[in-house]
């Protein structure tokens, strides 16, 4: 018990190393400036003041060394660089004490140590301060931490490459994948996310939790608690659990203050795990689920609108019937106008001109730009407006898409008043209203949509009673209100072959 208590105190005190280390740095710099001003004759400085500052520096360096040692016991650092940093810190403390002793009147009066020792000790302290600080920064933030933000003129003079953010090109943009079907899922899609968001804490120099993500074999091995992912099982994959924790949680990854994983990036990681977490397969070799299709398309360049193979999706009767027909192709002019509003235009197949229009890359898309929809009324089969800035006015334009079968409106500003416009969409089979202000009064206006098969209403104001009332008008409609506490309990006790549809039927 005593050993455990001591270990806890050491871990607690070790976290103060970054705070304590700034004390000797600041005071040593002050001493250096004061000595320069004194030598130049611009300032008269009391020896007592210098002695006091040097004493504080020596004490600060000593305590920083002790705390740094405690911190090093947590592991997760490059051993060679850590050892160098330790020795530099220890010698820095030694020379701080020697500089203080050289200023000590009692010693100076007896052996004249001042002239022999003071200047070299102070100079070496200042040098070691810079070197130890540099290595400390490398241990914590990576080898290029001090040089990453070097201004452009100096980069050119020093022969350094142009500054770019990890995972971006010289223009600061993420490079587009020209052929998505041939892209290696891990190397081209998943690993760049780790490189940009995770490797600063999990690399060759800093291995937080003894975890490295910069090499595949080490990623597979995991950290001090073992593997961090389970192929085919998202719920048991530790790194996914960490990402999903509240940002205020100490175990949340990336840590608070760092650039966070986006919803699209998280969706791609989950999809990769669901597909068996392959490290050597292409997109065309995996099953591309319907929600992942537009996210993958957003990673591509101009050719991203070509069909992504392997798409898995629900089969809806009207949708399949429409796909056997023909419509005119969208003209290049209209396609360009749509793309200027941030739209992705995704064809369904090579033998027809139906498309999916997605605004997954443009959260700022709003009511003022929605008038474009009338120009593609016949060709648009799916429309994704989720997480955009649209309101009820946009639904007036959506109502003109007479062939629309799927509509995503989740996390938008639409209200009950706007739903009345959707009553004209007789071919609509799928509607997602998650995270909106829709209520029972609003969904009553959907009763005329007799072909509606799926309606998602999580995090809305719709009640189970309101949902049941709508089902009376559309008996075949599947309404998903999200899982209640009882359903969650049932889910945890579900049989291995029991699906979420089975649980829904138990409501």
The H-assigned helical ranges of 189-310 are 191-197, 216-221, 238-244, 263-274, 292-297
Whole-number pLDDT of residue 497 = 41
Q: Provide the total of helices (H) and of strands (E) in the chain, helices listed first.
A: 22, 9
pLDDT tens readout for residues 357-370: 988 768 889 999 99
- What is the β-pairing status of strands 311-312 and 288-289? parallel
Task: Give pairs for 222-227: CB < 8 Å, separation 24+.
Answer: 224/75, 224/76
The H-assigned helical ranges of 103-158 are 105-111, 113, 119-141, 152-157
CA distance 63 to 85: 15
Whole-number pLDDT of residue 248 = 78
In the numeric block, which tokens belong to residue 48?
Answer: 């007592």
CA distance 57 to 38: 19
CA distance 280 to 31: 58
pLDDT tens readout for residues 173-214: 567 787 788 889 999 999 999 888 887 777 776 677 778 888
Does the pTM surpass 0.75? The reply is no
The H-assigned helical ranges of 160-227 are 191-197, 216-221
| CATH number belonging to domain 314-505 | 3.80.10.10
Whole-number pLDDT of residue 483 = 52
pLDDT tens readout for residues 50-78: 889 999 999 988 998 988 888 877 666 66
In the numeric block, which tokens belong to residue 500?
Answer: 């979420």
User: Residues of the chain whose pLDDT is less than 70?
Assistant: 1-7, 74-78, 105-115, 138-150, 152-174, 205-206, 290, 301-315, 348-350, 361, 483-507
Residue 361 Cα to chain centre, angstroms: 16
Q: Is 97 helix (H, G, I), strand (E, B) or coil?
A: helix
């Amino acid at each position: 018990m005593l050993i455990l208590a001591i270990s806890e105190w050491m871990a607690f005190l070790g976290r103060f190393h970054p705070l304590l280390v700034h004390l000797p740095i600041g005071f040593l710099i002050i001493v250096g400036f004061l000595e320069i001003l004194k030598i130049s004759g611009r300032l008269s400085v009391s020896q007592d003041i210098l002695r006091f500052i040097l004493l504080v520096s020596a004490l600060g360096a000593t305590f920083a060394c002790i705390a740094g040692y405690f911190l090093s016991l947590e592991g997760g650092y490059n051993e060679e660089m850590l050892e160098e940093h330790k020795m530099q810190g220890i010698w820095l403390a030694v020379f701080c004490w020697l500089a203080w002793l050289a200023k000590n009147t009692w010693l100076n009066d007896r052996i004249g140590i001042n002239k022999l020792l003071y200047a070299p000790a102070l100079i070496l302290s200042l040098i070691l301060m810079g070197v130890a600080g540099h290595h400390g920064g490398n241990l914590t933030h990576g080898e290029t931490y001090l040089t990453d933000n070097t201004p452009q003129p100096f980069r050119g003079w020093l022969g350094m490459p142009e500054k770019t953010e990890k995972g971006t090109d010289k223009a600061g943009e993420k490079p587009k994948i020209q052929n998505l079907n041939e892209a290696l899922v891990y190397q081209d899609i998943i690993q760049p996310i780790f490189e940009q968001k995770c490797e600063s804490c999990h690399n060759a120099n800093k291995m937080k939790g003894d975890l490295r993500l910069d090499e595949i074999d080490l990623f597979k091995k995991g950290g001090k608690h073992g593997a961090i992912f389970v192929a085919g099982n998202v719920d048991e994959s530790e790194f996914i659990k960490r990402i999903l924790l509240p940002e205020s949680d100490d175990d949340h990854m990336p840590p608070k203050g760092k650039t966070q994983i986006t919803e699209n990036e998280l969706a791609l990681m989950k999809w990769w795990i669901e597909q068996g977490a392959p490290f050597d397969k292409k997109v065309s070799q995996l099953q591309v689920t319907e929600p992942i299709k537009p996210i993958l398309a957003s990673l591509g360049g101009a050719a991203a609108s070509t069909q992504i193979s392997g798409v898995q999706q629900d089969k809806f009767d009207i949708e399949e019937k429409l796909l056997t027909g023909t419509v005119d192709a969208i003209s290049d002019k209209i396609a360009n106008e749509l793309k200027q509003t941030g739209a992705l235009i995704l064809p369904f197949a090579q033998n027809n001109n139906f498309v999916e229009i997605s605004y997954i890359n443009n959260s700022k898309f709003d009511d003022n730009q929605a008038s474009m929809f009338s120009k593609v009324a016949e060709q648009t089969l799916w429309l994704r407006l989720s997480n955009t800035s649209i309101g009820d006015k946009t639904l007036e334009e959506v109502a003109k898409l007479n062939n629309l079968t799927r509509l995503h409106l989740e996390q938008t500003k639409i209200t009950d008043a706007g739903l009345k416009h959707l009553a004209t969409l007789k071919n609509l089979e799928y509607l997602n209203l998650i995270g909106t202000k829709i209520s029972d009064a609003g969904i009553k206006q959907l009763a005329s949509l007799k072909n509606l098969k799926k309606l998602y209403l999580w995090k809305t104001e719709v009640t189970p009673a309101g949902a049941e009332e709508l089902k009376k008008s559309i008996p075949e409609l599947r309404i998903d209100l999200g899982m209640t506490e009882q359903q969650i309990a049932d889910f945890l006790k579900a049989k291995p072959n029991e699906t979420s549809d089975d649980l829904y039927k138990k409501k």
